[in-house]
Structure 1
């Protein structure tokens, strides 16, 4: 008897699993906070430099010191480059250049929207502006390190243990970041928070999947995505109420202490316990789940326990490695395409999510709209996936890529139109990101499925690391980041055509199955 048959006997998605998903989903809200808070804590308010040359009007910033004179990044290089008309208060007040001289007189930042950000506290503008983007990339690199480290530790010590460690470390280092004495320690603490986000996201998903019956797994996975989207939306309101970055960082981190009670309510994966020869503990949990689901086990079901002792033992004893993902022609082609899809989906998802200020509308409103888009984007995949995995993936990638490219043709003064197009792009890429998880699990054969998903996840995190860096291209062209996002996504749409259709087809078990299927289709 397989473990899936055991779940069918005790209930694949009964009261026990629904309660488990409550515990799994609640942290997703705070994970969204940590993933996206840099939109606000790292925001760059309008700013001018106090200088000795009278080139500007301090009233543009709402400052009271009428005796001051002001320069922008560009005018520090050439004071004649940016002469402000004192009678026209509608002119832009912020320019960026990584080649400007230092601001000797000190920077002054507008406080119309933010009381403080990491940028205003540590003057991360002009020649220091790149530090802000690099800080975001280092956080994303923490996600990559966490995925590798905590994935291996979870296989050794259990999903529950790593989730609890991740939640504890997240609150400690998250609160610590709110009191960071300088930018470098702040980035280091955020790096550790990124590691813990991976630990919780990855193992919560696995824990839920391993307790859920096959028929409900896709829907159960989408439920966690909805809570992440809810956190996405909620962050806009929290940030609006708390415009000081240190207080905001504290507000999204300190509530994590409430998850202390997970020590008593979060169960371990019975499937993992069986795979690690902890049969008695697994049986106790199975009996508890069956009782809560209203399907208690009787004495005859002890045979079920005996048969479970062989669960998770592969019939094929050969050890497979990541090399097998690229060893044969068809498997190599499909693996490389899927790795690229993981990379580009996360690249564009966070590229759009972390730089919403570029679209010219109110940053809080844009954040809320982008969060709201997540809900229908994830919902629509439930209806399209059953028709075709390949066409769904291709269509949503094409939608996202074309929308990104079209934003480059919209004038800056039509910010509402640019935001609407960016929202369409976010819709497409969010839906595509939801699909690639399922599609990958069906393309990779059973013997290397875990290796394939693991490598795909690493490529995704690499996309997250690069996403903030792409915005450094704005120094050469304002539209360059969106052109890169659009073209990369469209390339992914074209490559998707070379993947097999997996809807309503049996999953491949071996690499030979993959090669044989490709030959038959040819």
Structure 2
């Protein structure tokens, strides 16, 4: 997701002026550049312009010099010792420089496409098949990127990878929340998010050691194929199976879970497994037909938008903070680990609503403060950016947990997919906002900061879901606090473990 930052590291370059070699084959490189390239205000050679070629002889050029300038017409020259990068191989400089940010937006468009496709598809055909399909696409097209011949093919492949990553993220969220009980939901989601932080730290090391962009892409994508063993071990969501009326399949996966946990389920208890009401289909329109779902959908969509805007605004901006980009990325990845892990406790102590609102407000404030830091203070800017990254990361993780608890099972993936769509719109916009820095360097950070502050205030209008049961259907207007239900495992010290999720999947009012 962030690897391209290290594939487009800026290097010295200048126009290719080899045309003069036809009349002066014995010129040294310095003489060639001095005759064919204009200089800027600081006395350095211009990187994006050259003197227009003429049909004079060398003595005339030396005697009279060249005056007319034009843009580079024959490509650019880069340091010969520089490893191949996206910038040098596809000439992402001068007039083509904006293609770097545009390609990041294309990747984010892929994330948006994945949210549109795989969210509703997961509600329709199941979590497991969508997860496996996305793994295949991510692996195939991720490795394929390392062999693309043109930059536009690169962008197309990155778009497909983005779509598959989006499908994996939202499907993993559903599996993590639907396979555990009330108290373990934040742990299940946020521990998986910690692996995302570890991946960012590994990225810093990989990109530092592998400077060839094709090899870096290969090293980052090929390990996905090792995850194909999920085909044999990944279970379908038992909760989703029950809501679809596929009770017998749900019983089988629950029995398998109990077997792995070395527990047994009493046959009579298993027979009570059934949905609260008769399963019925739901569509994205249901999110807007009911007042409580409409409010949740609107505010959570804005929340994901703000999360994504500030998160990617900081993550994709590591080259602009003034310090070494590899150390900055390592710090960004390192700070994500405690940020995501701390959410486990924050959500339990303060609840979902307050945690979400305050984290958004803090991340926005950090960006706004950065706008007032002088450009010659890179250390202060980087420290504030790291703090902002901490709070933005924690806010994003909170949104995943909060959204999964607010939307009912029959339409959970559709709702989360819709929220993810708004996040991907922000992801598309974030690299483009960076282009506004050419007018004033503070404009991008001012935008990245003001949006989460406004949305953070809106979050106080949401209902609290700490300790509440997951809703299965769209009827419940507010989250229902968890009540004690029949145990499906022998009584133990730990009440929420393994297959105890049936306490959330079925209801037995007589026993209660």
Q: Name the TM tier (shorter chain).
A: 0.7 to 0.9
Q: 1:44 aligns with which of 2, 5, 10?
A: 10
> Which residue of structure 2 aligns with residue 205 of structure 1?
173
1:472 aligns with 2:435: yes
Deviation of 1:510 after TM superposition, in Å, equals: 6.1
1:116 aligns with 2:84: yes
> Which residue of structure 1 aligns with residue 425 of structure 2?
462
Task: Write the deviation string for residues 284-304 of structure 1: whole angstroms up to 9, x where unpaired.
Answer: 33222212212124xxx3334
Q: Whole-Å Cα distance in 1 between the matches of residues 334 and 409 of structure 2?
A: 36
Q: 1:375 aligns with which of 322, 331, 337?
A: 337
Q: Matches of residues 51-200 of structure 1 in structure 2 within 5 Å?
A: 51=17, 65-69=29-33, 79=38, 81-84=40-43, 102-110=71-79, 115-200=83-168
Deviation of 1:376 after TM superposition, in Å, equals: 1.8
Q: Matches of residues 242-321 of structure 1 in structure 2 within 5 Å?
A: 242-297=210-265, 301-308=266-273, 310-311=274-275, 314=277, 321=283
Task: Write the deviation string for residues 184-225 of structure 1: whole angstroms up to 9, x where unpaired.
Answer: 111111111111112222222222322222221111111101
1:491 aligns with 2:460: no
Does structure 1 conserve the Cα–Cα contact (< 8 Å) formed by 2:170 and 2:413?
A: no
**Structure 1's 489 and 314: CA in aligned 2 closer, same or farther, altered over 3 A?**
same
* Range with greater deviation from structure 2 (463-472 or 243-252): 463-472
Deviation of 1:445 after TM superposition, in Å, equals: 6.7
Does structure 2 conserve the Cα–Cα contact (< 8 Å) formed by 1:50 and 1:70?
A: no
Q: 1:403 aligns with which of 366, 370, 374?
A: 366
- Structure 2 gaps of 5+ residues are 21-27, 50-68, 480-512
**Bigger radius of gyration among the two:** 2
Q: Whole-Å Cα distance in 1 between the matches of residues 392 and 260 of structure 2?
A: 39
- Structure 1 gaps of 5+ residues are 1-34, 55-63, 87-92, 516-522
Deviation of 1:434 after TM superposition, in Å, equals: 1.7
Q: Whole-Å Cα distance in 2 between the matches of residues 159 and 439 of structure 1?
A: 19
SS in 2 for 1:67: helix
Task: Write the deviation string for residues 259-283 of structure 1: whole angstroms up to 9, x where unpaired.
Answer: 2322333233333444445444433
Does structure 1 conserve the Cα–Cα contact (< 8 Å) formed by 2:343 and 2:397?
A: yes
Deviation of 1:176 after TM superposition, in Å, equals: 0.9
**Structure 1's 411 and 389: CA in aligned 2 closer, same or farther, altered over 3 A?**
same
Deviation of 1:344 after TM superposition, in Å, equals: 1.0
1:235 aligns with 2:199: no
Q: Whole-Å Cα distance in 2 between the matches of residues 449 and 162 of structure 1?
A: 15
Q: Whole-Å Cα distance in 1 between the matches of residues 440 and 138 of structure 2?
A: 37
Task: Write the deviation string for residues 392-430 of structure 1: whole angstroms up to 9, x where unpaired.
Answer: 223222221121122222222221111111111111111
TM-score using structure 2 length: 0.79
**Structure 1's 281 and 42: CA in aligned 2 closer, same or farther, altered over 3 A?**
same
Q: Whole-Å Cα distance in 2 between the matches of residues 259 and 347 of structure 1?
A: 30
SS in 2 for 1:513: coil
Does structure 2 conserve the Cα–Cα contact (< 8 Å) formed by 1:210 and 1:271?
A: yes
Deviation of 1:378 after TM superposition, in Å, equals: 1.6
> Which residue of structure 2 aligns with residue 57 of structure 1?
none
Q: 1:341 aligns with which of 303, 307, 323?
A: 303
Q: 1:413 aligns with which of 350, 357, 376?
A: 376
1:214 aligns with 2:182: yes
Does structure 1 conserve the Cα–Cα contact (< 8 Å) formed by 2:170 and 2:417?
A: no
* Range with greater deviation from structure 2 (254-263 or 500-509): 500-509
SS in 1 for 2:119: helix
Q: Whole-Å Cα distance in 2 between the matches of residues 378 and 414 of structure 1?
A: 28
Deviation of 1:307 after TM superposition, in Å, equals: 2.7
**Structure 1's 473 and 387: CA in aligned 2 closer, same or farther, altered over 3 A?**
same
Deviation of 1:505 after TM superposition, in Å, equals: 6.6
TM-score using structure 1 length: 0.77
Does structure 1 conserve the Cα–Cα contact (< 8 Å) formed by 2:120 and 2:414?
A: no
Does structure 1 conserve the Cα–Cα contact (< 8 Å) formed by 2:146 and 2:215?
A: yes
Q: Whole-Å Cα distance in 2 between the matches of residues 480 and 324 of structure 1?
A: 39
Q: Whole-Å Cα distance in 1 between the matches of residues 3 and 184 of structure 2?
A: 32
SS in 1 for 2:272: helix
**Structure 1's 345 and 68: CA in aligned 2 closer, same or farther, altered over 3 A?**
farther
**Structure 1's 176 and 266: CA in aligned 2 closer, same or farther, altered over 3 A?**
same
* Range with greater deviation from structure 2 (506-515 or 344-353): 506-515
Q: Whole-Å Cα distance in 2 between the matches of residues 284 and 333 of structure 1?
A: 37
* Range with greater deviation from structure 2 (395-404 or 281-290): 281-290
Q: How many residues align?
A: 451
Q: Whole-Å Cα distance in 2 between the matches of residues 424 and 232 of structure 1?
A: 16
